[in-house]
């Protein structure tokens, strides 16, 4: 089953100096860095950093605790830095580069994380590579494809299915520009600069990839497979946008295979996956009956129970990590999760592999968690979550964004957006989309930040994207007024909306004076904000303008639509002593 020296032109939301798909990093501390081959280090770990200053190295170690570190130190620095960092939880191993191995043989005995002291770079790198390979093997068996809920309320659609919806949005809705593959290739060439083996694979991908080979590329035993799933597990949205075209191609192939499966007479009823998860997570699954278990990446399964068991070892219930055999019952409904038999498309056809689309969701069956003594592993029975519809027939009925827009409205909006924008503008859309999802997750500060980035880029763009500017500014107004209560900031965006709506309707052909009603509504919004700021004269003045625009409009509107305006005008007239007028 399956230190960056140069920047490259990429969407500015991606900073290659800070982003990392690797869960681990190599740190090399040496007073003489002239002899260190950066390319060689990158071939071991893509994210390698070289320091010749112990304070800078220490600062880096302290501020990057979310990534496992392998430290190589010269003999000169080791005596000072090893005692200081040895107990860092995220520091896995330490290697000492020395002139005399015998003189330093006590160091590994004193500090257990010191693997050894090495007189030659060759011996040091050999030991380093072996240690890293052992770490990777250990991590690969524990990679979390499933998101195990830790609280009962995490089982609701509102809290955990947003990622599934986001993946579905990327695979179904987005229309990707022609140069999308080259953007990804450029990003990967920059990220793996100096790693000859991986750059060779990147070149092959650039030269040979077609939409019809998406699943074959996914199942190949190259870094590409783990890279994509790591980005998905990290929910690294900027990078996922770069992979978006690939997700779409895999989706289309899976949709075809899913259709073929539904037409078969002798269908596979059950598939399996061997997985390592923590003892705590097993207990959570037992405790939460019928809990929802989403996948954060693609899910590879097999028809063969024995093949699935190859990936796990016997365990005891008291062990920290447990071997799990997931049994997944397949659904015959057209509205089921998107999956398919990819044996004919896979690099490994003998594994009888069924692949589930990234973001699929399952439920644990009632009494579906038990420990099998004879096999010394846990059996966890899953069924597909029928609440999520991934097919075209029912897609319009599905709520995509539960807070503000229905899925269909969102879909229509985004289809229109991506079909008309040029490739250079995808960056701005990334900002806006990220802002929308942060808003859905109630991360309002992050939502504001991304909306502001998108707005600023649209405003300096040579094309007059009036509606985009208006829509984003209105999103900011909504958050600032309803969630933050910052009416001064909201006022600035409301004035911006008024300005751009006036520009839009001036440039548009408006036979029915619809523009007047639209501009009237901006004056109503301004009036509301001015009232919150206790600027009643301005609030009153804007309502008067709104009423005049309604009156002069040729568009038919209901009295209930304009009644609140006149009611509020009367209130302000009494308050401001303007009743006689």
Q: How far is CA 342 from CA 2, 77, 311, 413, in A?
A: 12, 53, 19, 33
pLDDT in tens, the chain (581 residues): 332 222 222 333 334 434 455 667 788 888 776 656 555 565 566 567 888 888 888 888 887 776 778 898 988 888 889 888 888 877 888 998 887 777 666 777 788 888 888 888 888 888 888 887 777 655 544 455 556 554 433 333 333 456 776 787 778 766 677 778 988 898 888 888 877 888 899 999 999 999 999 999 988 877 787 788 878 877 777 678 889 899 999 999 999 998 888 888 777 789 999 888 878 888 888 876 666 777 888 888 989 899 888 878 888 888 877 888 999 998 877 667 888 898 888 777 677 889 999 888 888 888 888 999 999 999 999 988 754 444 333 333 333 333 333 333 444 444 444 444 444 556 676 677 778 767 876 788 888 988 898 888 888 877 667 777 888 899 999 999 999 999 999 999 999 998 888 877 765 544 444 577 888 888 999 999 999 999 999 999 999 998 888 887 766 667 777 888 888 888 888 888 876 55
Handedness of CA 400, 402, 406, 412 (dihedral sign): negative
Output the pLDDT for position 33: 62
What strands lie across the sheet with 91-97, from one edge to the other?
48-51, 24-29, 68-74, 91-97, 114-118
Output the pLDDT for position 344: 86
Q: What is the CATH number of domain 24-140?
A: 3.40.50.2300
Q: How far is CA 567 from CA 300, 529, 541, 555, 564, in A?
A: 62, 17, 14, 21, 5
CATH superfamily of 152-384: Toxin ADP-ribosyltransferase; Chain A, domain 1 (3.90.176.10)
Output the pLDDT for position 153: 33
Sequence ranges of the chain with CATH classification 1.25.40.10: 396-576
What fold is seen in the domain 396-576? 1.25.40
Taking phi first (over 0 means left), then psi (-120 to 50 degrees means alpha), and beta for anything else, what does residue 376 get? left
What strands lie across the sheet with 292-294, from one edge to the other?
292-294, 361-372, 377-384, 321-329, 270-278, 299-302, 353-356, 339-341
End-to-end CA distance of the chain: 80
Six token digits for residue 515: 């523009």
Give the angle 260-419-162 at the CA atoms, nearest 5°.
65
Helix 244-263 and helix 162-172, axial crossing angle in degrees, nearest 10: 90
| Strand-pair partners of 97 | 74, 118
Sequence ranges of the chain with CATH classification 3.90.176.10: 152-384
Of 84, 126, 92, 73, residue with least CA distance to 22: 92
How far is it, in rounded angstroms, from Cα 439 to Cα 453?
A: 15
Output the pLDDT for position 333: 74
Return the biggest CA–CA distance within the chain.
Answer: 102
How far is it, in rounded angstroms, from Cα 164 to Cα 358?
A: 7
How far is it, in rounded angstroms, from Cα 244 to Cα 353?
A: 23
Per DSSP, 240 falls in state H
Sequence ranges of the chain with CATH classification 3.40.50.2300: 24-140
How far is it, in rounded angstroms, from Cα 444 to Cα 164?
A: 21
How far is it, in rounded angstroms, from Cα 438 to Cα 450?
A: 9
Could you tell me how many residues make up the chain?
581
Output the pLDDT for position 368: 85
Strand boundaries in 147-200, DSSP class E: none
**Contacting residues for 183 by C-beta, under 8 A, at least 6 apart:** 10, 11, 242
Q: Which residues of 109-125 are buried (b: 16+ CB within 10 A; e: fewer)?
A: eebebbbbbbbeeeebb
């Amino acid at each position: 089953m399956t230190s960056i020296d140069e920047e490259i032109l990429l969407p500015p939301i991606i900073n290659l100096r800070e982003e990392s798909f690797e869960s681990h990093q190599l740190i090399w501390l040496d007073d003489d860095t002239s002899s260190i081959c950066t390319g060689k280090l990158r071939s071991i770990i893509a994210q390698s950093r070289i320091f010749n200053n112990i304070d800078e190295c220490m600062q880096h170690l302290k501020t990057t605790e979310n990534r496992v570190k392998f430290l190589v130190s010269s003999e000169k620095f080791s005596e000072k830095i090893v005692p200081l960092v040895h107990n860092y939880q995220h520091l896995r191993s330490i290697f000492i580069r020395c002139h005399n191995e015998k003189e330093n043989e006590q160091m590994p005995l004193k500090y257990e994380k010191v693997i050894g002291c090495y007189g030659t770079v060759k011996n040091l790198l050999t030991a380093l590579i072996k240690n890293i390979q052992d770490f990777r093997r250990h991590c690969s068996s524990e990679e979390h494809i499933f998101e195990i809920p830790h609280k009962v309320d995490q089982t609701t659609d509102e809290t955990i299915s947003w990622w599934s919806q986001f993946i579905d949005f990327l695979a179904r809705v987005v229309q990707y520009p022609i140069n999308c593959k080259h953007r990804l290739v450029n990003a990967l060439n920059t990220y793996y600069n100096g790693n000859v083996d991986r750059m060779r694979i990147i070149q092959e991908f650039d030269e040979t990839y077609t939409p019809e080979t998406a699943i074959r590329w996914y199942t190949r035993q190259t870094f590409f497979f783990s890279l994509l799933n790591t980005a998905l597990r990290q929910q690294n949205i900027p990078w996922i946008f770069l992979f978006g075209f690939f997700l779409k191609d895999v989706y289309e192939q899976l949709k075809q295979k899913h259709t073929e499966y539904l037409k078969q007479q002798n269908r596979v009823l059950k598939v399996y996956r061997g997985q390592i998860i923590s003892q705590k997570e097993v207990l959570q699954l037992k405790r939460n009956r019928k809990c929802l278990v989403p996948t954060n990446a693609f899910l590879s399964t097999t028809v063969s129970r024995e093949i699935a068991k190859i990936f796990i070892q016997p365990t005891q219930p008291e062990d920290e990590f447990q071997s799990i055999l997931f049994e997944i019952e397949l659904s015959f409904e057209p509205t089921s999760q998107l999956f398919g038999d990819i044996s004919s498309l896979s690099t490994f056809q003998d594994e009888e592999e069924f692949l589930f689309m990234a973001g699929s969701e399952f439920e644990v069956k009632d009494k579906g968690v038990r420990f099998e003594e004879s096999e010394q592993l846990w059996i966890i029975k899953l069924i597909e979550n029928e609440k999520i519809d991934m097919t075209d027939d029912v897609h319009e009925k599905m709520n995509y964004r539960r807070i503000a827009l229905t899925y269909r409205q969102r879909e229509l909006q985004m289809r229109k957006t991506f079909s008309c924008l040029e490739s250079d503008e995808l960056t701005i859309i990334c900002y806006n989309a990220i802002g929308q999802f942060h808003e859905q997750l109630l991360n309002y500060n992050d939502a504001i930040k991304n909306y502001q980035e998108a707005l600023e880029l649209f405003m300096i763009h040579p094309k007059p994207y009036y509606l985009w500017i208006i829509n984003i500014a209105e999103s900011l107004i909504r958050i600032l007024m309803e969630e933050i209560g910052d009416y001064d900031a909201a006022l600035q965006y409301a004035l911006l909306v008024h300005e751009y709506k006036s520009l839009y309707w001036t440039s548009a052909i408006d036979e029915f004076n619809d523009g007047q009603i639209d501009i009237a509504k901006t004056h109503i919004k301004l009036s509301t904000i001015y009232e919150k700021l206790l600027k009643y004269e301005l609030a009153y003045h804007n309502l008067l303008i709104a009423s005049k625009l309604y009156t002069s409009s040729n568009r038919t509107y209901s009295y209930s639509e304009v009644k609140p305006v006149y009611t509020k005008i009367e209130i302000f007239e009494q308050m401001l002593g303007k009743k006689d007028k």
